Amino acid sequence: MSSSSMETMIRDMTEGPVVPQLLRFAFPLFVSNALQAFYNLIDMVIVGNYIGKAGMSAVSIGGDILHLLTFVAMGFSSAGQVIIARAVGAGKRDEIRKTIGTMFTFLLGASLLISLICYILRFHILAWLNTPAAAEKFAMDYLVTCTCGLVFIYGYNIVSAILRGMGDSRRPFIFIAIASVLNTVLDILFVKYVGMKVFGAALATVIGQGTSFLFALIYLYRRKDSFGFDFRLSSFKIDGKAFARLLSLGIPMAIQSAAISFSKIVLMSWINIFDVTYSALSGIFNKVNTMCGVISQSFTAAGSTMAGQNLGGRKYDRVNRILFTIFVIGTGISVVFTMVMLLWPNAVYGIFTQEADVLALAGVLTLPIILNFYGASTRSVAFSLINGSGRSKLNLAVAIIDGVISRIGLAALLGFALKLDCFGFWMGDALAGFMPFIIGGTFYLSGRWKQEDTE
């Protein structure tokens, strides 16, 4: 990007109309995140409609485990992206090369180690999660197959981080689009026509991920001269300084990525105590909330960038307008989603399954899901301010408080202490979603966000 283009972009973010700028930044992120969420959703939809609640339970359990296992990839690839972007800006080609080689070796090695550990502990993992007996075989098929393909998820995250760090956000979107289309087609083929059941859904997922990684890797290799990484074996050596930088930035990001996933695993193990029907409902709850979170994540990323630029220019009134705009848009979208859930709940739940006993109990999810809409919309306001002001320690603290302490604590209080059972677990999860807004609101009222970050 030329200096004049950079100056124009910064001027637009700090002087142009807030709403168009915010939407311009958020929309591409929303499309990319929505596609990734759809990719994770399709297994549940196909399995739910062609296999039933036992398959839904298996995909829910296996999917949540797999999501937790990616926390290392998510955290350290994001850190690598930041390091590469800084090195690109400084023109440090040698640092770029060492970071790429170190990230490849470390993360691919970590993926293989994690896969091996999970395979060895596969029976214990399903036992720890109180997997319903009716879903146990399906869950084992999904878990083993997807963990064997974990290396592809890590590989895709590595290549995407490199490309985004180099300023290319379009190609990673194309690669995940390829995976989504392939996964959908193979899901229907394997599950509906070949009769491979849950194993077929898992295999379709792995093939989609592998194909996406392969295309991304080929693209990166063909353009290796542009960033000085020659793909020779010696280039994959872990560099001490590059590894230290990756650890210092990646560990907090990995913890943030793992926090909410860990709490959902705990809640899932409690829900599984009841029966396979509630386990299937848990899958629906998580998938609907994931789709809602797509919007929150998009506005958080856009809002953080705009808030950060304006805080750097000490344009505090404009920061207020940005936060207010995110709040209004997020609340408006939540109201629309609320009306859909109240007017056509069976249509929403019917996307996932047609089993009468699951649909008969699905109404218990409606209030927690609606509360999660508003929790997600207010969360984007809080994180836009916290991230934009560069408070990484506060961000990490919020992630732990929201993701672990509040969710598990409130779920245990409502579910066990007040004997609300699964409804209490889901309500605890939903209410905890407002914690970032409470902490972020306190931070806003303190005025410390106007002070220069000294962390």
User: Residue 303 pLDDT > 90, yes or no?
Assistant: no
For the ranges 183-197, 291-305, 441-455, the one whose mean pLDDT is highest: 183-197
Question: Which pLDDT score, from 0 to 100, does residue 106 have?
Answer: 96
pLDDT tier for residue 217 given thresholds of 50, 70 and 90: very high
pLDDT tier for residue 24 given thresholds of 50, 70 and 90: confident
User: Residue 284 pLDDT > 60, yes or no?
Assistant: yes
String of b and e for 132-159 (b: at least 16 CB within 10 Å)? Answer: bebbbebbbbbbbbbbebbbbbbbbbbb
pLDDT tier for residue 390 given thresholds of 50, 70 and 90: confident
Section 190-206 average pLDDT: 95
Alpha-carbon gap, residue 391 to 17, rounded angstroms: 26
User: Residue 447 pLDDT > 90, yes or no?
Assistant: yes
User: What contacts 97, CB < 8 A, 6 or more positions away?
Assistant: 227, 228, 229, 235
CB 56 within 8 A of CB 352: yes
pLDDT tier for residue 261 given thresholds of 50, 70 and 90: confident
pLDDT tier for residue 14 given thresholds of 50, 70 and 90: low
Residue 207, both tokens: 């093939």
Type of residue at 361: L
User: Residue 357 pLDDT > 90, yes or no?
Assistant: yes
Question: Which pLDDT score, from 0 to 100, does residue 312 have?
Answer: 79
User: Residue 94 pLDDT > 80, yes or no?
Assistant: yes
Q: Which pLDDT tens digit goes with each residue over 412-432? A: 999 999 999 999 999 999 999
CB 160 within 8 A of CB 33: no
**From 33-47, 110-124, 175-189, 352-366, the region with the lowest mean pLDDT:** 33-47
User: How distant is the alpha carbon of residue 195 from its chain centre?
Assistant: 30
String of b and e for 278-287 (b: at least 16 CB within 10 Å)? Answer: bbbbbbbbbb
Question: Which pLDDT score, from 0 to 100, does residue 448 have?
Answer: 92
Residue 369, both tokens: 């899901």
* Between residues 425 and 390, the one the model is more confident about: 425
Question: Which pLDDT score, from 0 to 100, does residue 252 have?
Answer: 82
Token pair 């596609």: residue: 35
Q: Which pLDDT tens digit goes with each residue over 27-44? A: 777 777 777 777 778 899
User: Residue 398 pLDDT > 60, yes or no?
Assistant: yes
User: Residue 67 pLDDT > 90, yes or no?
Assistant: no
Question: Which pLDDT score, from 0 to 100, does residue 37 have?
Answer: 76
User: Residue 69 pLDDT > 80, yes or no?
Assistant: yes
* Between residues 324 and 248, the one the model is more confident about: 324
Alpha-carbon gap, residue 270 to 130, rounded angstroms: 7
User: Residue 301 pLDDT > 90, yes or no?
Assistant: no
Section 109-113 average pLDDT: 97
Angle at which helix 150-165 crosses helix 71-90, to 10 degrees, equals 20
Section 369-392 average pLDDT: 90
* Between residues 253 and 139, the one the model is more confident about: 139
Q: Which pLDDT tens digit goes with each residue over 233-245? A: 888 999 999 999 9
Question: Which pLDDT score, from 0 to 100, does residue 16 have?
Answer: 67
Alpha-carbon gap, residue 228 to 235, rounded angstroms: 10
Residue 322, both tokens: 């940005």
Mean pLDDT of the chain: 89
Alpha-carbon gap, residue 102 to 222, rounded angstroms: 20
pLDDT tier for residue 5 given thresholds of 50, 70 and 90: very low
